[in-house]
Amino acid sequence: MREPQRARAVFSSEDFNLLRAAVASYLKEIQDKPESVKYANLYHRLGRVS
């Protein structure tokens, strides 16, 4: 029986930096809306990853 292959990363560390910059830009546009809290949390989580 063959061993399962190791999972490969989907995103690189550079991708996380790009995503974080995109979320920061969008966050400025929606800062007064209730959903901005979710995007702010995402922004901080992306900062921990990269």
pLDDT tens, residue by residue, 13-36: 899 999 999 999 999 999 999 999
Residue 50: is its pLDDT beyond 70? no
User: Higher pLDDT residue, 19 or 49?
Assistant: 19
How far apart (Å, rounded) are the C-alpha atoms in residues 31 and 6? 40
Domain span at residue 48? 25-50
How many domains is the chain built from?
A: 1
How far apart (Å, rounded) are the C-alpha atoms in residues 32 and 30? 6
Query: Does residue 42 sit within a domain?
Result: yes
pTM, full prediction: 0.78
| Average pLDDT score, the chain | 92
Query: Does residue 2 sit within a domain?
Result: no
Residue 7: is its pLDDT beyond 90? no
